[in-house]
């Protein structure tokens, strides 16, 4: 689907469909007013009769309206005029797309750009329309024998001059879709090697992206015993995937994104229970979000330098797998007693965090489906955020708040570090039942002392379980907002 910023006249534009907003208490948006005038008050009559409603999320599709050039008119309720909330706006956009998915309209003009959303800038309105509509059209159907897309919608014009917002929305939306697809792909296809190939393909596509794949021998050379201990139980060799995007000045310190890329987490010898174990193919969603962001940044040629470091492995039970009680030496030299082989994310991330030092990063953000405890603490709506640097944490919280892909901070005070004390090694890889997300972050913090660092635990937000099972592409929107804000502040 293509998106374009283009100012148009709602009654005069020749197109498959126009989308216009109605409000509660019989209020019309500016574009609805124009259409109402052109069709001799027909819209007002529909409202009066109760056919059209301004309540948020209500949709009514009209065809063949006299006085209007568009073939169809889609009326969307947006709540109280001048007070539409962010959620009401998104509900409205979703309702519009749900109708358009069933419609033969290929070419559509949205005039929802004239809706004022409470506490949001006008660019938010535009980006959300692009992101929500692109997301609604995503599906992974390459494994279905007879699934052809029957959706006619190909081109969404937004009546605005803000080309930048449309471009940012489109790049973010495609980044989200890329992350969703990598997440939804099964573990037998999306292996560490497959992820490595994605990096090589991005390098082919964008001149500003360079990629480098470290194989197990190269990691051995660097002393990444902790990471390699996780992949030892798997037939799939681990990869350390490195991408560099150069959009800033040559000597600008990069922002590093470190993504957990566990392409399947069985738990290892500390085997997980069978129910829903398939969902552990999503244990690479941190990595997927990094791919989405690198692609989106390159599409937008954002003026910033980025480094992506993705440790990728499977976690499987095997005669050669980690055993509870094993002790490994990480690349940093710190030793780790592995009490639970299912706490493997931190074992691969710690070596990736140590490796990331060599880029002298201005900031490091790791993204990981790290702990089930984070789902208990924050549920599926909010990502967990932990950091050793408050300005960085604040920038990420603020970015999430702005775009609606929100995170909430948990403390990593020194008191929690004690839970990681091991009788035999420098630390153990689990901290007991209490504060599981925090102790996981405390573990990582020991490898991130040399730079400003933040950790996003996306265990609850990266995918949805149940009948609508699927990856969400989060936190690509949060990270894109953070990077866009970072570039704006330069």
C-beta closer to Mn ion: residue 314 or 342 = 342
Report what 459 binds from Mn ion, ligand BES, Zn ion, none; CB cut-off 5-8 Å by kind.
Answer: ligand BES
Give the nearest distance from C-beta 228 to Zn ion in angstroms. 16
Report what 430 binds from Zn ion, Mn ion, ligand BES, none; CB cut-off 5-8 Å by kind.
Answer: ligand BES
Residues 6+ apart with CB under 8 A from 173: 130, 131, 134, 135
Give the nearest distance from C-beta 344 to ligand BES in angstroms. 5
Subset of residues 154 to 183 that bind Mn ion, contact rule: CB under 5 A = none
Quick one: which of 345, 400, 452, 475 contacts Zn ion (CB under 5 A)?
345
Tell me if 430 contacts ligand BES by CB under 6 A: yes
- Token representation of residue 484: 């866009």
Strand partners, 313: 262
C-beta closer to Mn ion: residue 11 or 342 = 342
Please indicate whether residue 142 is annotated as part of the active site: no
In whole angstroms, what is the distance from residue 168 CA to residue 155 CA? 17
Q: Is the sign of the CA dihedral 245, 247, 252, 255 positive or negative?
A: negative
In whole angstroms, what is the distance from residue 294 CA to residue 308 CA? 8
Q: Sheet of 427-428: strands edge to edge?
A: 326-329, 335-338, 427-428
Tell me if 457 contacts Mn ion by CB under 5 A: no
Q: Is the sign of the CA dihedral 430, 435, 437, 442 positive or negative?
A: negative
Give the nearest distance from C-beta 259 to Mn ion in angstroms. 16
Number of residues located near Zn ion, criterion CB under 5 A: 4
Tell me if 265 contacts Mn ion by CB under 5 A: yes
In whole angstroms, what is the distance from residue 288 CA to residue 479 CA? 12
Tell me if 477 contacts ligand BES by CB under 6 A: no
Quick one: which of 330, 371, 383, 445 contacts ligand BES (CB under 6 A)?
371
Strand partners, 408: 384
Q: Draw the binding track, 62-101, toward ligand BES (x: CB under 6 A; -: no contact).
A: ----------------------------------------
Tell me if 283 contacts ligand BES by CB under 6 A: yes
Rg of the chain (C-alpha set): 24
Tell me if 459 contacts ligand BES by CB under 6 A: yes
Question: Would you give the distance in Å from CA 185 to the centre of its chain?
Answer: 16
Residues 6+ apart with CB under 8 A from 207: none
Tell me if 336 contacts ligand BES by CB under 6 A: no
Tell me if 340 contacts ligand BES by CB under 6 A: yes
Please indicate whether residue 205 is annotated as part of the active site: no
C-beta closer to ligand BES: residue 411 or 432 = 432
User: 3-class SS at 428?
Assistant: strand
Tell me if 265 contacts ligand BES by CB under 6 A: yes
Tell me if 342 contacts Mn ion by CB under 5 A: yes
Cβ–Cβ contacts within 10 Å for residue 307, how many? 23
- In total, the chain counts a number of residues equal to 490
67 DSSP assignment: T
Residues 6+ apart with CB under 8 A from 263: 187, 190, 191, 192, 194, 195, 236, 281, 283, 284, 312, 313, 314
Tell me if 461 contacts ligand BES by CB under 6 A: no
C-beta closer to Zn ion: residue 140 or 277 = 277
User: 3-class SS at 316?
Assistant: coil
Q: Draw the binding track, 138-177, toward ligand BES (x: CB under 6 A; -: no contact).
A: ----------------------------------------
C-beta closer to Zn ion: residue 170 or 462 = 462
Sites of contact with ligand BES (CB under 6 A) = 265, 283, 340, 342-345, 369-373, 430, 436, 459
Sites of contact with Mn ion (CB under 5 A) = 265, 342, 344
Point out the residues that are catalytic.
272, 346
């Amino acid at each position: 689907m293509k998106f374009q910023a283009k100012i148009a006249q709602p009654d005069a534009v020749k197109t498959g469909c126009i989308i216009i907003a109605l409000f509660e208490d019989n209020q019309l948006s500016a574009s609805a007013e124009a259409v109402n005038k052109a069709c001799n008050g027909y819209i007002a009559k529909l409202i009066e009769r109760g056919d059209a409603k301004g309540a948020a999320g209500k949709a009514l599709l009209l065809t063949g309206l006299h006085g209007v050039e568009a073939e169809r008119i889609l009326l969307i309720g947006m709540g109280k005029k001048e007070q539409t909330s962010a959620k009401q706006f998104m509900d409205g956009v979703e309702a519009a797309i749900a109708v358009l998915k069933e419609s033969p309209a290929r070419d559509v003009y949205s005039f929802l750009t004239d809706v004022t959303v409470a506490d949001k800038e006008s660019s938010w309105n535009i980006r959300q329309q692009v992101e929500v509509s692109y997301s609604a059209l995503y599906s992974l159907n390459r494994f279905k024998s007879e699934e052809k897309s029957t959706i006619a919608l190909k081109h969404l014009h937004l009546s605005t001059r803000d080309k930048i917002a449309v471009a940012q929305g489109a790049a973010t939306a495609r980044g989200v879709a890329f992350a969703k697809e990598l997440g939804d792909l099964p573990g037998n296809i999306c292996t560490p090697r497959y992820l490595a190939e994605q990096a090589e393909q991005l390098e082919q596509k964008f001149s500003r992206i360079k990629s480098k794949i470290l194989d197990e021998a190269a990691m051995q050379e660097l002393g990444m015993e902790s990471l390699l201990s996780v992949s030892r139980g798997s037939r799939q060799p681990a990869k350390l995937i490195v991408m560099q995007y150069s959009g800033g000045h040559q000597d600008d310190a990069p922002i590093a994104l470190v993504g957990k890329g566990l392409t399947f987490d069985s738990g290892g010898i500390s085997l997980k229970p069978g129910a829903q174990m398939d969902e552990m193919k999503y244990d690479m969603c941190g990595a997927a979000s990094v791919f989405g962001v690198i692609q989106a940044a390159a599409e937008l040629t954002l003026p910033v330098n980025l480094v992506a470091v993705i440790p990728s492995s499977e976690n499987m039970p095997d005669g050669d797998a980690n055993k509870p009680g094993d002790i490994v030496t990480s690349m940093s030299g710190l030793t780790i007693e592995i009490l639970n082989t299912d706490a493997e994310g931190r074992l691969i991330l710690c070596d990736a965090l140590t490796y990331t030092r060599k880029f002298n990063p201005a900031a490091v953000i790791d993204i990981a489906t790290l702990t089930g405890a984070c789902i208990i603490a924050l549920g599926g709506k909010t990502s967990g955020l932990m950091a050793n640097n408050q300005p960085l944490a604040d920038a990420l919280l603020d970015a999430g708040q702005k775009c609606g892909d929100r995170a909430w901070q948990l403390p990593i005070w020194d008191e929690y570090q004690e839970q990681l004390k091991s009788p035999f090694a420098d630390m153990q890889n689990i901290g007991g039942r209490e504060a599981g997300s925090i102790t996981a972050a405390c573990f990582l913090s020991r490898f991130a002392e040399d730079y400003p660092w933040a950790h996003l635990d996306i265990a609850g937000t990266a995918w949805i379980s149940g009948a609508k099972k699927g990856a969400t592409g989060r936190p690509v929107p949060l990270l894109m907002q953070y990077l866009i804000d970072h570039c704006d502040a330069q």
